[in-house]
Structure formats: structure tokens, C-alpha cells
Amino acid sequence: MTSSHDDNGSYVPLPKWETNDRIGDRWVLRKKLGGAHVWSIDSVIPRPRQPPKRAVAKRMRNDDASKTARERFFNEVKGLEALGRIKGVVPLLDREPGERPRWFVMQTATPLQDYVRGKDFRSLVSLFAELADTLFKLHQEKGLTHRDIKPDNLFWLENTPAFGDFGIAGWEDRVRHTQELNKLGPFAYLAPEALNPKPTTYWPAADVYSLIKTMWSLAEYQYECALADATEEPDATEERAEVPILFPPQGEMNSTTEWAYSFRRFFGPAGYPLDPLLRDATSNDPFRRPTAREIRDEFQSWLRLTQGIEPAPSPRSVYGTLVTNHERFNQAKAQYFTTLQSEIKSAFKNVVFDSSVKVDWRFDADDQVDGPAVLASHGRNAPIGDYEGDGPPPPEPWEGALILRLVPDQGDLQTIVGGVMGDDSARPTVDLVAEVHRTDSGGKRTLVREWTRNNINAEGAVIVEALRDILQELTAQIPISPDSRWTSSRVV
């Protein structure tokens, strides 16, 4: 075994690798895979009947042996060794002994692009829900950011999608060489801030950007593969046509018209709830992007909501335009209000919405002659109405509220359902509120039960599920007769 240091402690390059060379005590080199620095290898066979174990060896490049490159290679090996065998990461099997290893061995895994060919878009969403969960754990529990997420670095291993190639990863407990990265990979998958990184670059958000850009490329790849496979004559003796993976569109992928950069292209109208996620995760603003955990939750909610729905892909795709935060907020508000009405219709079969149930309805305190419409505060004071004090008026606690009251034509129970939209961030959120009231013979109302769910993305699948869960619990409190009619009006 050649040491990585000479007697003076300086770096000693590895000798050139050749087929059938031995590395370490367990491995034999078989075939180059990615230039001279990545090889397919077999384990040494101690007994004739024992099959060899396949793996992949990666060595340090002798033509890139600067001090920074060496330290980055050492950190990759030590970091993978510290991770051990965790679900969702291609594991380290072996490495050159010593403090400065120049080669290491990874378990063989199937490229994810090979695995997803022939599968549908729902399966891709499921895979990326798992990848997002792994990424969240790497960020939060391991202090690790990948920084090079792209199709080439995703794999299928032991029935799980997995990340590989941590060559330029950021390890929280190790020196970062952010300014000297020279292996950024295809720029199309990189967040804008990663193209010119600074010590303050927030890499978890950059990982999210790369993850969703990669997902779009693989969705497009699946789509193109389906077209290619459908036009080929079936022949079991021939390999399927090679289909390239296309780079994703540059910049923010914004779906603001009927068709733009949209996941609907790959699934049909039911893919719409994923479009806000696509837009947010590829935003040029890192702080608009959701976390890896939020991506996981959105994907999981969407998968539950679309169970049994047949995909209806469309070949149409046009380029959208960027929207201002104000336009974005108004779009989110309209979409949320549509969702609210739709879920109420599903929960209350015989409901009639009066003329006040519209987005641009304005609250007027003079109309609230029977007291506040919302009995419990949910962390907010009662609506202010007309302000007659000195100085500037205080903030309206129910600004951005879209809340409906449902009153039955019989019985003493009524309900309040809705939410308050926040306008203090680039990603509109909603605090959901709901109540059940009982009214006595004198018209006095008492609170039976209340619900609050805070800081939910105003668009997408999670808010649909949250509303559905609240309404399911709410209607369980009310004996709804099939003959009951409900009148809904907007109160805040």
C-alpha cells in the first residue's frame, strides 16, 4: 500500500490505476466508469464458489491535487464515514487507511433515471417526497448540505431513492471551501446564489432549489421516454431508445397563466396544487423557498389527495412571467378562497352562498349588530372597525381574513370556518380558524369548540388537507340532517 504522505509529510499522488490492479485488501479494479477517477470494482474472492461483491471506487485526481481539492476529498471520505449506513444515502464501504485517504469505495447503486423510466409521475412525486425527507434530516440532524444535487447524483438503492457524490458537500463541523469550489456541475440545477457563493450563502435553500429543478428534469425525461417507448416496435432483443435528460428552464419556474412551467403538464389538472411549490422552490429569493420538510409534506399531501386519479398529461407548455409579491398575494388569496368554498361544499351538501361570499367583500363593523362574528380570539383581538382615536390606527388584527359563517335552517348550532392570510412574507400563509357555536332561545351564543392551525402555505395540497381535516372534525360535532339547508355568508 502506497502512503499518501512521504517522510516529510507532503502529499504523494496515487500511481495510475490499471485493470486488475488491487486496491486495499478487498478489491480488484475492473472497468473505468467516469474517467480515470471512478472505477467499477469487484471484491477479492477468497473461495471459488463465493460470488464477487460489486462496488464503485473513487480516487483523488492527480491533475487536481491542490491543497483545497485534497482537503475536500479527505472531508468527503470522513463525512461519509461519520454518516455510516443511513437510509437515503449511498454508503461508504471502504477507504484507504490513514488520515489522508486518496481513494474510497461506495456501494453500487442504480442511477435514478434508469429506475424511473417507464413509471408514472405519481411515482416520481413519491420518490422525491422520500428524497426531501432525507435531505431535511441531513440538513437538520447531520449539519450537512449536498450542494451538487442533479440527476447524475441520485440513485436507487435497496428500494429507496438515495443521494450520492458528496464531493463538494458542506459539512457543518469541517472547514468549508465555498469560495474555491471548482466542481459546480451543470449550472442549470444551481440556485442563483450558488453560482457566486459567499460565506453567508444559505446552502439548505440552495439544495431545495436544485432538488426541484432535478425533479422537473426527471419528470420531463419520463414524459419523453413514454413518447419514445410508445412509438417503438416492441422487441425484447433490443434496448430501449436512448433519451437524454434535458436541463430544466433557467430561473424561477412560474405558473401564472393556464399553462406555464407546470407539473400539470405531466399529470393533468390534478397536478395544479404542486405548481405553487414548483414556483416557490425555484424562486430567486432563497427565503421564499420552502424547507425540505415542507416539500416532503406537500408531496405527501398531494399523493393522498390524488389517490385513484388517472393522470392526463398534456403536451402544451408555455413560458410564464414573473409576478410581483402583490400580484402573488392576490392570486394566492383567490386560490385559497376557491379552496375554502370547495371544501365547505363537500362537507355541507346543501349549502347556499349569499352575495357576501366573494374575495373583495369588505368588513363593516356597523353590520355586526349581534356582536363579534368570531367568539374566540385565536390569538387576535376583535375587529377594530372605524377608528376614532388619536394618532395612527393600530394594526387591524383580522386584516387578510376570509371567514365564512354557516347557519342552518333548523337547529341551534352554527359554524365559523375560514382563515387569516399573512402578507408579511414572499410566501403567503394562512392561519386557519373554525368554531362551533350554540345559540340559546334568547339569541346568546356560546362556544362549543374551536380549531386553529397556524402558518400553512396558502396554496398547494397541505392547506386542502388541513381544511378537510378541520371540517371533518367540525361536522362530527353537528348532527347534520340530509334535509338541512345551510346559508353561508362572509363575516370577516
Lowest-confidence region among 255-259, 297-301, 334-338: 255-259
Mean pLDDT computed over every residue of the chain: 82
- Using a 10 angstrom Cβ sphere, with 0-12 exposed, 13-18 middle and 19 or more buried, the burial of residue 339 is buried
Q: Which three cell numbers stand for residue 395?
A: 394594526
44 grid coordinates? 477479492
pLDDT at 12: 79
Tell which CATH architecture fits domain 22-107.
Answer: 2-Layer Sandwich (3.30)
Residue 173: pLDDT above 60? Answer: no
Domain ranges of the chain: 22-107, 110-233+240-322, 336-386+395-490
Percent of the chain at pLDDT > 70 equals 78
Is the pLDDT reported for residue 1 higher than 60?
no
pTM of full prediction above 0.85: no
The pLDDT value given to residue 332: 85
At the topology level, CATH places domain 110-233+240-322 in Transferase(Phosphotransferase); domain 1 (1.10.510)
What does the block give as the cell for 242?
436512448
Task: Give the pLDDT of residue 63.
Answer: 63
Asked if pLDDT for residue 318 goes beyond 60, the answer is no
**Interacting residues of 18 by C-beta distance below 8 A, sequence separation 6+:** 29
pLDDT in tens, 118-142: 999 999 999 999 999 999 999 999 9
The predicted pLDDT at position 178 comes to 47
Q: Is the pLDDT of residue 222 over 60?
A: yes
Q: What is the pLDDT of residue 152?
A: 93
The pLDDT score that the predictor gives to residue 187 is 81
- pLDDT tens for 363-419 read 665 554 444 456 566 777 665 555 566 666 666 667 778 899 999 888 888 899 999
Residue 111, SS3?
strand
Neighbour-count burial of 239, counting CB atoms closer than 10 A to its CB (0-12 exposed, 13-18 middle, 19+ buried): exposed
Sheet containing 160-163: order of strands: 110-111, 154-157, 160-163
Whether the predicted pLDDT of 75 surpasses 50 = yes
Read off the DSSP letter of residue 54: E
What b/e sequence results for 278-290 when a residue is b if at least 16 CB atoms lie within 10 Å of its CB, and e otherwise? bbbbbbeebebbb
Q: Are 84 and 35 in contact (CB under 8 A)?
A: no
Residue-level pLDDT at 280: 92
The band of 278, judged by pLDDT with boundaries at 50, 70 and 90, is: very high
pLDDT at 236 over 70: no
